[in-house]
A = this chain, B = another copy of it.
């Protein structure tokens, strides 16, 4: 069975490329509100579950112990662009436990943001602080410190921090995550494959607290509030996650992951969303997420107009000429 075409890429008036994918929208009990394509397929959620991975930081008491505010919590949930404010925030998190960039095991890469990369090239070299996952890693390190255990090896599957993360993912998804589900993420921590449908349920639980123990529900609410009030810290200048959460505030939580994954929650509707673009294309996953928000969330005309460029962006070339567009297919409307 092949997943439906969800996004088309036009050049002029002609179809140039197309993206297939699967979409699950579900409530906290796992009831499907929308299922397109194979929602039972196992998906590595990658960075789309960073907010769920960050629950440990609050549940273990680290956020309180180190006085983390919304910016630090949003950074722990972030795939940030490596802009100076992101780097400063992660540095601050590590300083709370007397550590620095050398404690990070995520590896170094140049900032995702091109302006940040150019500016950094003019002053130095990238460090692990610029890695888009550095906030999450700083969170894990602080979690280990709050547990009173060695932070070295915090990224390994059998470290207590990662065991806690796995338990959170199992609780929210309702899925047993056996060793056969584990692979290594881009930043070296475990990533756990689960059915797309269960991933939507996990985000419904994250977005509402339903079906969660009170302490876990409170941790979810605190992270959601942090991300939606500090969306720049979750991604960065001009990024989709940032712009969408800026537009809708606490009404929408969204988070991108590598290989065409996008997850989100619409708390007022009690719904979680999970998207997997078959081919791993982020451009398509973004357009699908924008289309789903437009489909489910009650919107003013102004909000609807603001969403439109995200669901159907115009493509421009190096001279700024309009050369094409993305459009979502009828399957999503």
Q: Which A residues are closer than 8 A to B by beta carbons? A: 2, 9, 11-12, 14, 16-20, 42, 44, 105-110, 114, 117-118, 121-122, 131, 182-188, 191, 193, 259-260, 277-281, 284, 317-321, 323-324
Contacts and interface: CB of A to CB of B under 8 A. Distances in A.
Given A114-B110, A279-B19, A281-B279, A11 B183 contact: yes
Main secondary structure of the interface of A (DSSP, over half): loop
A187 B259 contact: no
Contacts of A260: 17
Give how many copies assemble into the complex: 2
Contact of A183 (B12, B193, B279, B284): B12
Contacts of A14: 42, 44, 183, 193
Given A9-B280, A259-B17, A279-B17, A318 B183 contact: no
B280 A17 contact: yes
A127 to B, nearest CB: 12
A16 B44 contact: yes
Contacts of A16: 44, 183, 259, 280
Contacts of A121: 117-118, 121-122
The 8 closest A-B pairs by CB, nearest first: A107-B318, A12-B183, A121-B121, A17-B280, A279-B279, A107-B319, A11-B183, A118-B121
Contact of A186 (B20, B279, B318): B318
Nearest to A131: B318
Contact of A109 (B11, B281, B318, B324): B318
B187 A11 contact: no
A183 B2 contact: no
Nearest to A110: B114
Nearest to A14: B193
Q: Which of A106, A118, A122, A182 has the largest number of chain B CB atoms within 10 A? A: A118
